[in-house]
Structure 1
Amino acid sequence: MRAFGGGDDGDGHGERRPRDPVSGTMAERLSVLLDRDVGRAVRAGSSHDWDISYAELTDGTRLFVKALPRGAPPSGVLTAEARGLEWLGRTFGSPAIDVLAWDERILVLPWMEEREPTAQAAERLGHRLAGMHMTGADHFGADWPGYIGPLPMDNTPSDDWPRFYAEQRLRPYLRRALDQGALTPSDVRVVEKVVDAVPDLAGDPGPPARVHGDLWSGNVLWRERDAVLIDPAAHGGHREADLAMLALFGLPHLERVRDAYNEAAPLASGWRSRVALHQLHPLLVHVCLFGAAYRTTTLEAARTALRGG
């Protein structure tokens, strides 16, 4: 979500063509969805299965837009993201970004001007993340079909976190990685030992937490005084999972975030020994998306999880 650039998808001048939520320029489609005049919309590229655009209302308000390509059938991925953000947002002081509008083909968010991360912003993020988690969920999973990136994610509600994590977060992506040839049968047997041992490795998961579900550092946008979260795979889950993923690819001022989180909602004893267990899910997803480049890290995480940290 950075500055505008590139060519115009609709110049906003001259006679307005009939508005339709599917056809027409992106500016026209957004005008229908928002019921406001959009002056321009600029395509900025693509990510996974969707296009990225920047848009601007005639009053100067800037927008960030994700949309399925023209002609592509609705997949549910943008619906899942929008519902997840709205659900995460129904918490006091939620760090989730606001949703301005959405339908099954388009998601409209505020345009964010990012700042350099500071220790103070990290501390505020830790407190707000704890508040979001502790708001809780009715169950593990969610009431809508899930996605993590472009991949489907089984959100079938469950009251049993070890079984939920093993069968709905680990095993499906392990099978997919094998089918794609990114992991060998020998690799799979290593990870399956963790899948089978989740009840013994998990500790007490506590009640379902309201988790982001895909909280790597790229989904944290820093502002002057705090940070906002984007691109969730939101569901009722284990609150240690979000913190483990923040550590997986590195987050500025991570220790400050974690300390502030612990002040607001102390983590259970032994949480450090479970970091690798929680990181195994996003690593398997990365293997499915990006291939064997993540194979070694995934196997290391599996062996670490089996050792208990």
Structure 2
Amino acid sequence: MPGVRSRLARLLGTDVASVHDLGASHAWTLHRASLADGRDVFVKALGDSSSAGVFAAEAAGLRWLGAAGPDVPVAEVVAADERLLVLPWLPSAPPGPAAAERLGRELAALHTTSRPDVYGAPWPGFIADLPLDNTPDDRPWPRWYAERRLAPFVPLAAPHLPAADVRLVERVVDEAESLAGPSEPPSRIHGDLWSGNVRWTGERAVLIDPAAHGGHRETDLAMMALFGTPLLDRILAAYDEAAPLAAGWRARVPLHQLHPLLVHVALFGGSYRASLMDAVRAALG
């Protein structure tokens, strides 16, 4: 931690009173730091340059999401460089109905105001420590999703899957246009909105750790359903009231879950195979 403390002090231009280790995630370590000016901050730190660019992508995504409006529920970026990402320390509180409904309304506003012109983003992306192809693209979403989010992860997941499973995943890639439902314009989406990236602070929820890009708004909602976001029914009801979803959106949830499930198979192996293949079969109908 002495290295983190000195680097943090240089980055912020202030003395650091203490740094507490919170463990590790992927290629980085996690810390809570108390600054001499009385602030507490959350710090991600890379020990080397093996994942260079990941913090720049996260910081760019948070700032880009935040630029959508004053009430966007995303964490502020205090500071960032290649080896450190610094966010405010967010107090934790149990999720409640009012905060869940507020999140639904605020997420709807994020998705439907200040829309980007194209899918993708003007910076190289990451999900966890895996690169994401954010090449901006003005083609319809299904082909962008198939080529930029599904196809690149099939070979990464393939070593953990039987050949027959790989062929079924490739079938979804080939048939994406017929599976995707009504056309939607691009939305600013979080891109990795599982329950661990929703920080409940009492009055509201704050979103952290994005893989932000111009995408399909149903993707964020499908990701929230994948690993059990608390009070999801209230979130979705408030969202749908504020920005009604296209007919049949629930049936398309498995299609949108395929990308994060492929990522999980690539990162963690065959323990996610059953979940992936259930989603593949449901997406194909």
Picking from 57, 62, 72, the partner of 2:49 is 72
- Which residue in the other structure is 1:144 paired with? 123
Q: How far did 1:186 drift?
A: 1.2
d(CA) in 2 for partners of 1:36 and 1:202?
50
Instruction: String of CA shifts for 1:186-234, please: whole Å, max 9, x gaps.
Output: 1101111111111001112311000000000010010111100010000
d(CA) in 1 for partners of 2:243 and 2:37?
42
TM-score, normalisation: structure 1: 0.89
Q: How far did 1:155 drift?
A: 0.3
Picking from 149, 153, 160, the partner of 1:169 is 149
Q: How far did 1:240 drift?
A: 0.3
Indicate if the aligned counterparts of 1:174 and 1:188 stay in contact, CA closer than 8 A.
yes
- Which residue in the other structure is 1:116 paired with? 94
Q: How far did 1:59 drift?
A: 2.8
Picking from 101, 111, 135, the partner of 2:79 is 101
- Report the residue type matching 1:154 in the other structure: D
d(CA) in 2 for partners of 1:107 and 1:299?
35
Could you say what the CA RMSD is over the residues aligned between the two structures, in angstroms?
A: 1.1
Instruction: String of CA shifts for 1:23-42, please: whole Å, max 9, x gaps.
Output: xx322211211122211222
Q: How many residues align?
A: 282
SS of equivalent residue, structure 1 residue 141? coil
1:298 aligns with 2:276: yes
- Give the % identical residues: 56
Picking from 52, 57, 62, the partner of 2:35 is 57
Picking from 15, 18, 31, the partner of 1:40 is 18
d(CA) in 2 for partners of 1:236 and 1:138?
8
d(CA) in 1 for partners of 2:235 and 2:24?
31
d(CA) in 1 for partners of 2:227 and 2:277?
16
d(CA) in 2 for partners of 1:305 and 1:125?
27
Picking from 248, 253, 271, the partner of 2:231 is 253
Gapped regions of structure 1 (runs ≥ 5): 1-8, 11-24
SS of equivalent residue, structure 1 residue 281? helix
- Which residue in the other structure is 1:14 paired with? none
SS of equivalent residue, structure 1 residue 252? coil
1:188 aligns with 2:166: yes
Q: How does 1:264-303 map to 2 (within 5 A)?
A: 264-303=242-281
d(CA) in 1 for partners of 2:193 and 2:127?
11
Moved over 3 A (4+): 71-74
- Which residue in the other structure is 2:109 paired with? 131
TM-score, normalisation: structure 2: 0.96
SS of equivalent residue, structure 2 residue 122? coil
Question: Which of the pair has more CA radius of gyration?
Answer: 1
1:153 aligns with 2:136: no
1:229 aligns with 2:207: yes
d(CA) in 1 for partners of 2:236 and 2:66?
21
Gapped regions of structure 2 (runs ≥ 5): none
Instruction: String of CA shifts for 1:94-126, please: whole Å, max 9, x gaps.
Output: 111111000111100011111000010000000
